[in-house]
Amino acid sequence: MVNASYMIHVTVVNAQGQFILRPTGTRFTPHWIRTAYHDMATHDITDGTGGMDASIRFAEEQARPENAGDGFSNTLNVLEAVSSRYVSIADALALGAIMAVENCGGPEIAFRGGRVDAAVPNQPGGFTQEEMIGLVACGHTFGGVQHATFPTIVPDLQDPNNVDSVAHFDTTNTHFDNNVATEYISGTTQNPLVVGLNETTNSDKRIFGSDGNATMETFAQSSDLFASTCANLFARMLDTVPNGVQLTEVITPLPVKPNTIKLIYDATTETIAFSGEVRLWDVPANLSRVLVFCADGGYGDVRRRGAKRRGPDTRIPRADVAR
Ligand code: HEM
């Protein structure tokens, strides 16, 4: 499982030679969500081609004007590494987007596996207008617009705490909430795609206002409605796959999962060392938590029933969790 919540930092050395972290204003989590959307956005509802199939990894797609920015290559560098013959890049991308939303305090999103990676780039596709208002608002609760990629939208902010000069979509850009809607409706928004000086690039303003702000009003009034709408829209977005691809049932994580378990026999001391990690899912962090591994009678025991034990007990323990 990949950890979706870390930020990109630039590491520099101060005058004392100590490493310090310089915030760039850029985050990985919005990159992953944006990459998933742009991969899905090639879906063509008329012929069923395109969708979540990792075709965004092809240089031809990344060169299109709507796919400007380094977020796609950043995402693929991380997620391609966790894909394998069993987990497609498209599945890793879907899971990465889900982890990104959830780790930023967003709603739980159902995950299904089985996406198939495209062998060639897709043609550009489209979504309906109504779905777009919701999806754009859900996506643009994270991150923002980078000066380097869009210098005509965002000036160089000259901010040492935001060296990438990212103009964020709302005041809580690392957190999932409905501020993108409340700030838009109250007229306090600094969203660069709403209040940008260049009207032609104010795409959020056009999309959010395309139904007379009706959808954004409902999002601003209820954070619960916003969260449940986004959970549905994100799931639909991630489950938009080319015709013929069969997704699995919803996959839920195991609550307790042993990881990198090792049982090493040391012939010199004739001892067996047991080590490993346990991943707990949806359990509040507690650094003083005690994990107790207990032997489960007969589990992995190579002795015959009733045989007299000789030498050390080699039974493989079963993990139990003490809270
Ligand atoms: C027509 C619709 C859309 C337009 C015109 C649009 C435009 C943009 C632009 C110009 C950026 C700045 C990218 C950069 O600076 O690298 C951006 C960022 C972003 N977009 Fe969209 N977007 C649209 C729809 C969506 C949707 C549907 C989602 C997700 C469901 C989404 C998620 C994001 C995220 C998370 C970011 C932040 C990236 C970051 O901080 O690096 N966008 N969008």
CATH of residue 139's domain is 1.10.520.10
> Is residue 133 lining ligand 1, measured as CB closer than 6 Å?
no
How much distance in Å is there from the Cα of 33 to the middle of ligand 1? 9
pLDDT digits (tens, 9 = 90+) for 44-84: 888 899 999 999 999 999 998 888 888 899 899 988 888 99
| pLDDT 10s digits, 21-45 | 446 666 788 899 999 999 999 998 8
Q: Is the Cβ atom of 236 under 6 angstroms away from ligand 1?
A: no
Within a domain: 293: yes
The predicted structure's pLDDT at residue 282: 78
* Claim to verify: residue 34 and residue 136 sit in the same structural domain: yes
pLDDT of amino acid 197: 85
Residues 54 and 158 in one domain: yes
Residues 138 and 26 both lie in one domain? yes
How far is ligand 1, taken at its centre, from the CA of residue 140, in Å?
6
Same-domain pairing of 12 and 94: yes
Predicted local confidence at residue 261, as pLDDT: 84
Q: Is the pLDDT of residue 101 over 90?
A: yes
269-319 tens-digit pLDDT: 999 888 888 888 877 777 787 777 665 655 554 444 444 545 544 444 444
Specify the number of domains making up the chain: 2
Q: Is the CB of 71 under 6 A from ligand 1?
A: yes
Q: Rounded distance, CA 175 to CA 107, Å?
A: 11
156 and 72 share one domain: yes
Same domain for 171 and 228? yes
Is 228 part of any domain? Answer: yes
Examine the domain organization and report whether 222 and 275 are in the same domain: no
Distance in angstroms (rounded) separating the CA atoms of residues 231 and 210: 22
Give the mean model confidence (pLDDT) for residues 191-195. 97
- Is pLDDT at 159 greater than 80 in this prediction? yes
Domain housing 277: 256-321
Rounded to an integer, what distance in angstroms lies between the CA atom of residue 320 and that of residue 264? 21
Q: Which residue's alpha carbon is at the smallest distance from atom 30 of ligand 1?
A: 139
Rounded distance, CA 140 to CA 176, Å?
Answer: 9
CA of 72 to the centre of ligand 1 (A): 11
The answer to the question of residue 245 being in a domain is no
Q: What is the pLDDT of residue 137?
A: 97
Residues 33 and 131 grouped into a single domain: yes
Are residues 149 and 291 located together in one domain of the fold?
no
Q: Are residues 221 and 286 in the same domain?
A: no
Q: How far apart are CA 235 and CA 52, in angstroms?
A: 11
Same-domain check for residues 313 and 193:
no
Q: Is residue 97 part of a domain?
A: yes
Answer yes or no: is 1 within a domain.
Answer: no
Mean pLDDT of 180-188: 98
143 lines ligand 1 (CB under 6 A): yes
Q: Tell me which of 274 and 129 has the higher pLDDT.
A: 274
Cβ-contact 54, 38 below 8 angstroms:
no
Q: Is residue 18 part of a domain?
A: yes
For ligand 1, atom 31: residue with the closest CA: 139
User: Do the Cβ atoms of 154 and 146 come closer than 8 Å?
Assistant: yes
Fill in the DSSP letter of residue 168: E
Whether residue 2 is contained in a domain is answered as: no
**Is any ligand 1 atom within 6 A of the Cβ of residue 69?**
yes
CA of 247 to the centre of ligand 1 (A): 26
Where does the pLDDT of residue 12 fall: very low under 50, low under 70, confident under 90, or very high at 90 and above?
Answer: very low
Q: Are residues 114 and 263 in the same domain?
A: no
Cα 192 to Cα 198: distance, rounded to the nearest angstrom: 10
Which range (163-167, 250-254, 289-293) has the least confidence? Answer: 289-293
CB of residue 142 inside a 6 A radius of ligand 1 = yes
Res 302: pLDDT? 45
301 lies in a domain?
Answer: yes
Cβ–Cβ < 8 Å for 86, 97: no
Mean pLDDT of all residues belonging to the chain:
83
